[in-house]
């Protein structure tokens, strides 16, 4: 059997272990400590968003954002339909009602026109949406300037799920810095990892302090354990943050490598009937995953291709199945235009890790060409 080529394997830079060693030396084995504070400072410096709370996951970050925005039972929250379920689940945690909005073709992210239509509809029904959760998928920034303008016009808070888009930007401004809140994830297969973790970003200092308080069981400032609110155990551990600090040092290098993966695949496969997602003017993708759309003229579909590559021990993955097609969200109202359904039907994510060797990439391309 050939060695396995993974979709997106963790890739350590080398310094991570030194930050962990320091945590051991100082016995900071807890969900607080110098690495947690350091990770927050690194994220602020990198994203140019003023405040950060390092958390146990990106999902926790979205959940805290919604809590702090006051999202409650039966509130309407608009969210991208073409995404990973973690974008939408926290809306349900609050007992609120997710309303799903389809994508536009240029960036595959939420269609601003459809968003405005949904907002107007719900305002007409007397149920003004309480928040928008917008996603930048696969590292490609969506039409966030347009979406931020719409949210401002209707005075609806914007949560920017940049879990897959750390380091991506629009006109020089980082993904995650446009919304009232920005969210990053450091799960195992994201562009950098802390094994598991996330962060909540905001210009609003009070909100981020509130997030840290809620993430540590909402403890009142008293000598004993007193609580006036429901809390959560959502803080990042000092060990995970140590990995994160090492990963922040190599983030830009890993982005270069992922972008090189994209260029490699594009050059080799573009003329074989595959379509690639290109950057628009002013947008910079971190190319977390390189995704291709299969030509409709092919005699096989994306699932057949995935299975054939799997036989050669190459891991690929279908694009996200839109939330409005998910059994768990089947009763949610959705504003659809066919774009995400088409992407789901024709797309495939190729091995995209920053540690892929040239030989591995050659091998993926050779197998794909052989299959077609
Ligand atoms: C990974 C991911 C999340 C959740 O992050 P976790 O750290 O895994 O909880 C949220 N949204 C999107 C789009 C993601 O890809």
The CATH architecture that domain 16-248 belongs to is 3-Layer(aba) Sandwich (3.40)
From 187, 236, 323, give the residue whose CB has the most ligand 1 atoms within 8 Å, as the site to mutate. 187
Q: Which fold has domain 251-371?
A: 3.90.1150
- The answer to whether 352 and 8 are in contact (CB under 8 A) is yes
pLDDT at residue 299 in the model:
86
**Length, in residues, of the chain:** 372
- The answer to whether 28 and 372 are in contact (CB under 8 A) is no
From 84, 136, 162, 166, give the residue whose CB has the most ligand 1 atoms within 8 Å, as the site to mutate. 84
Q: Establish whether residue 161 lines the binding site of ligand 1, counting it when its CB lies within 6 angstroms of any ligand atom.
A: yes
pLDDT at residue 1 in the model:
59
| Residue ranges of the chain with per-residue pLDDT less than 70 | 1
Integer angstrom CA distances of residue 283 from 174, 175, 300: 10, 10, 33
Percent of the chain predicted with pLDDT > 90: 97
Q: Which numbered atom of ligand 1 lies nearest the CA of 198? A: 7
98: enclosing H helix or E strand: strand 97-101
Q: Which numbered atom of ligand 1 lies nearest the CA of 164? A: 15
Q: Which numbered atom of ligand 1 lies nearest the CA of 62? A: 10
Integer angstrom CA distances of residue 237 from 45, 56, 119, 167, 228: 20, 7, 39, 23, 24
Nearest CA to ligand 1 atom 14: 163
Domain limits, CATH 3.90.1150.10, in the chain: 251-371
Domain limits, CATH 3.40.640.10, in the chain: 16-248
How crowded is residue 254: how many other Cβ atoms within 10 Å of its Cβ?
21
Residues 6+ positions from 221 with CB-CB distance below 8 Å: none
Residue 100 to residue 79: CA distance in whole angstroms? 5
Q: Per-residue pLDDT tens for 82-123?
A: 999 999 999 999 999 999 999 999 999 999 999 999 999 999
Q: Establish whether residue 86 lines the binding site of ligand 1, counting it when its CB lies within 6 angstroms of any ligand atom.
A: yes
- The answer to whether 136 and 142 are in contact (CB under 8 A) is yes
Residue 239 to residue 186: CA distance in whole angstroms? 13
| DSSP string over 85-96 | GGGTHHHHHTT-
Q: Establish whether residue 236 lines the binding site of ligand 1, counting it when its CB lies within 6 angstroms of any ligand atom.
A: no
Q: Establish whether residue 84 lines the binding site of ligand 1, counting it when its CB lies within 6 angstroms of any ligand atom.
A: yes
Closest to 265 (Cα-Cα) out of 168, 353, 203, 163: 353
Mean residue pLDDT across the chain: 97
Cα(360) to ligand 1 centroid in Å equals 27
From 43, 55, 58, give the residue whose CB has the most ligand 1 atoms within 8 Å, as the site to mutate. 58
Residue 159 to residue 145: CA distance in whole angstroms? 13
Q: Establish whether residue 286 lines the binding site of ligand 1, counting it when its CB lies within 6 angstroms of any ligand atom.
A: no
State phi, psi for 216 to the nearest 5 degrees: -120, 45
CA 135 from centre of chain: 7
Q: Environment class of residue 119 by beta-carbon count within 10 Å: exposed (0-12), middle (13-18) or buried (19+)?
A: buried
């Amino acid at each position: 059997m050939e060695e396995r080529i993974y979709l997106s394997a963790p890739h350590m830079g080398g310094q991570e272990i030194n930050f962990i060693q320091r945590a051991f030396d100082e016995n900071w084995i807890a969900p607080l400590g110098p690495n947690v504070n350091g990770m927050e400072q690194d994220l602020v410096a990198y994203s140019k968003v003023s405040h950060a709370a390092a958390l146990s996951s990106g999902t926790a970050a979205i959940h805290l954002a919604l809590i702090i925005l006051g999202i409650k039972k039966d509130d309407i929250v608009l969210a991208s339909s073409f995404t990973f379920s973690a974008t939408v689940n926290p809306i349900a945690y609050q007992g609120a009602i997710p309303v799903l909005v389809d994508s536009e073709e240029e960036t595959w992210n939420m269609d601003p026109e459809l968003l405005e239509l949904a907002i107007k509809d719900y305002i007409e029904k007397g149920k003004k949406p309480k928040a928008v959760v917008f996603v930048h998928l696969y590292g490609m920034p969506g039409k966030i300037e347009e979406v931020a303008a719409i949210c401002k016009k209707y005075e609806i808070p914007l949560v920017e799920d940049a879990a897959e888009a750390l380091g991506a930007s629009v006109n020089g401004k980082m993904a995650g810095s446009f919304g009232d809140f920005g969210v990053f994830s450091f799960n195992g297969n994201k562009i950098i990892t802390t094994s598991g973790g996330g962060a909540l970003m905001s210009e609003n200092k009070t909100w981020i302090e509130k997030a840290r308080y809620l993430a540590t069981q909402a403890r009142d400032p008293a000598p004993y354990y007193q609580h006036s609110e429901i809390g959560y155990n959502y803080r990042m551990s000092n060990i995970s943050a140590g990995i994160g600090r090492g990963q922040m040092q190599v983030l830009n290098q890993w982005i270069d490598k992922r972008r090189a993966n994209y260029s490699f695949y594009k050059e080799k496969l573009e003329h074989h009937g595959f379509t690639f997602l290109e950057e628009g003017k002013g947008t910079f993708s971190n190319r977390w995953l390189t995704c291709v759309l299969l030509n409709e003229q092919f005699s096989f579909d994306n699932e057949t291709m995935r299975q054939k590559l799997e036989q050669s021990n190459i891991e690929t993955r279908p694009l996200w199945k839109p939330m409005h097609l998910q059994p768990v969200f089947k009763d949610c109202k959705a504003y659809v235009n066919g774009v995400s359904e088409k992407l789901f039907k024709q797309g495939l994510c190729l091995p995209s890790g920053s540690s892929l060797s040239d030989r591995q990439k050659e091998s993926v391309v050779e197998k794909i060409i052989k299959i077609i």
